């Protein structure tokens, strides 16, 4: 298990080989130069050795990984090492010093064997490199696999904390050198817009670059994403309800008033070419001034209602309209 950062500063453990929303690729041909693979959403690319398995991911519940991969020797039965690349938003005053303090605190809370932390450079940028070893939880695993060595590089790029993680088993041979080259090959660019398919529907929503999908347990919510800042400055939900848009608007107005919100305006609008009702309001935002909310209510074509809800506490004043422009049926 490898410690990861999730959401706005929560550390969790996830398995490197765990599957998630993403596409797994087995890079064919084991000879020749590495293959450069990028993550438009993550804002980076790396050169991956040929013959390795690679999975592009969309960060959701339990991890912040955009790309994971591993050696695929012996027809896929031998995995002596692998990598992951993760990213999460950080506060505007974040620095290598604050990253060092966080990593030291994590070590105090969950001590790891043979732990070291040093400064280095990667991709021409200042970074911290952390090394530690882990043992399989059972004796059979320790006897069969031995201890695993983990190396993580952490660096700050354009408001994000990037983590490049490498893991190897004993007797990894040339895999260790291949992983070092992979880490050194990372290149960064501005994260690009990405499109989410809303589960169980024909609707899609394209979000600005840097936004990240997150889990939600709100009633009726089928999608949730946050803007790239810590604390986040904006967010978007998609809800789906039974019944007419008129009934959903009526229920929303009651809910806003019941939760000390203030309705500013209600007007007829359009969402992706379909007639919609738009509701503008403000609502209490604990620890912050009142936030602004905009909701579009539109029929789902099956007798129900989609609600696109965008909240904003700071940042671009037109973010709700930008998000709404990415809606498609």
| DSSP per-residue codes, 103-141 | HHHHHHHS--EEEEEEEEEETTEEEEEEEEEE--SSHHH
115 and 41 in one domain?
Answer: yes
Q: Across the strands, what pairs with 303?
A: none
- The pTM of the whole model exceeds 0.85: no
Say whether both 150 and 100 belong to one domain. yes
Coil, strand or helix at 299: strand
* Mean of pLDDT values over 176-189: 97
- Whether residues 126 and 153 share a domain: the answer is yes
Is the pLDDT at 11 greater than 50, yes or no? Answer: no
Residue 15 in tokens: 């398995």
Do 180 and 199 reside in the same domain of the chain? no
Give per-residue pLDDT as tens, 112-131: 999 999 999 998 999 999 99
Are 146 and 170 within one domain?
yes
CA torsion sign for 240, 192, 6, 97 is negative
Is residue 28 pLDDT above 90, yes or no? no
What's the CATH code of the domain at 227?
3.40.1000.10
Average pLDDT (218-226) is 95
pLDDT digits (tens, 9 = 90+) for 135-151: 866 554 454 567 899 99
Alpha helices in 165-204 (DSSP H): 175-184
Residue 235 is part of which domain span? 194-328
Residue 32 scores a pLDDT above 70: yes
Q: Report the pLDDT averaged over residues 305-311.
A: 98
Query: What are 51-95's pLDDT values in tens digits?
Result: 899 999 887 655 689 999 999 876 666 789 999 999 999 999 999
Which residue, 36, 229, 5, is CA-closest to 105?
Answer: 5
Angle (CA) 223 227 231, round 5°: 115
Under a CB-based contact definition with an 8 Å cutoff, are residues 296 and 220 in contact? no
210 vs 151: CA distance, rounded Å: 26
Distances (CA, A) of 198 to 212, 305, 328: 14, 14, 10
Task: Note the pLDDT of residue 263.
Answer: 97
Q: Which of 140, 169, 188 is the last residue of a domain?
A: 188
The upper half-sphere exposure of residue 99, i.e. CA atoms within 13 Å in the direction of its Cβ, equals 27
- For residues 133 and 200, state if they share a domain: no
pLDDT at 2: 38
Tell me: the pLDDT tens digits for 264-282? 999 999 999 999 999 999 9
The pLDDT, as a whole number, for residue 64 is 85
Higher pLDDT, 103 or 137: 103
Q: How many domains does the chain have?
A: 2
Pair 180, 219 in one domain: no
Q: Are residues 92 and 230 in the same domain?
A: no
Indicate if 80 and 206 belong to the same structural domain: no
Write the pLDDT tens digit of every residue in 226-259: 999 888 999 999 999 999 999 999 999 999 999 9
- Helix ranges (DSSP H) in 259-314: none
pLDDT of 137 reads 60
Here the tokens at position 73 are 């020797």
pLDDT cut 70: percent of the chain above it = 85
Final residue before a domain boundary, out of 188, 211, 232: 188
Q: Answer with the residue of higher pLDDT: 11 or 262.
A: 262
**Same domain flag for 228 and 283:** yes
pLDDT category at 24 given cuts 50, 70, 90 is low
Q: Does residue 315 share a domain with residue 214? A: yes
């Amino acid at each position: 298990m490898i410690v990861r950062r999730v959401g706005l500063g929560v550390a969790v453990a996830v398995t490197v080989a765990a599957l998630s929303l993403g596409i797994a690729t087995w890079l064919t041909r084991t000879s020749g130069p590495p293959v450069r693979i990028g993550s438009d959403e993550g804002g980076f690319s790396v050169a991956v050795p040929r013959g390795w398995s690679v999975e592009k991911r969309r960060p959701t519940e339990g991890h912040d990984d955009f790309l994971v991969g591993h050696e695929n020797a012996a027809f896929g039965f031998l995995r002596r090492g692998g990598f992951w690349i993760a990213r999460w938003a950080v506060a505007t005053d974040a620095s290598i010093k604050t990253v060092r303090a966080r990593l030291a605190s994590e070590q105090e809370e969950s001590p790891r064997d043979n732990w070291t932390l040093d400064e280095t450079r990667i991709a021409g940028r200042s970074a911290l490199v952390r090394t530690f070893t882990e043992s399989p939880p059972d004796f059979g695993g320790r006897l069969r696999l031995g201890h695993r060595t983990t190396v993580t590089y952490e660096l700050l790029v354009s408001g994000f904390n990037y983590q490049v993680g490498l893991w190897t088993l004993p007797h990894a041979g040339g895999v260790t050198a291949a992983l070092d080259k992979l880490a050194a090959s990372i290149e960064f660019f501005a994260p690009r817009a990405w499109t989410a398919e809303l589960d169980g529907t024909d609707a899609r929503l394209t979000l600005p670059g840097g936004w990240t999908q997150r889990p939600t347990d709100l009633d009726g919510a089928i999608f949730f994403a946050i803007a790239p800042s810590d604390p986040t400055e904006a967010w978007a939900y998609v809800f789906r309800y039974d019944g007419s848009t008129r009934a959903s608007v009526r229920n929303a107005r009651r809910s806003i008033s019941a939760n000390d919100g203030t309705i500013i305006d209600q007007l007829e609008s359009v969402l992706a070419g379909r007639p919609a009702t738009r509701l503008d309001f403000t609502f209490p935002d604990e620890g912050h001034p009142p936030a602004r909310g905009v909701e579009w209510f539109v029929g789902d074509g099956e007798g129900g209602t989609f609600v696109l809800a965008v909240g904003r506490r700071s940042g671009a004043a037109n973010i709700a309209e930008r998000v709404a422009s990415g809606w498609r049926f």
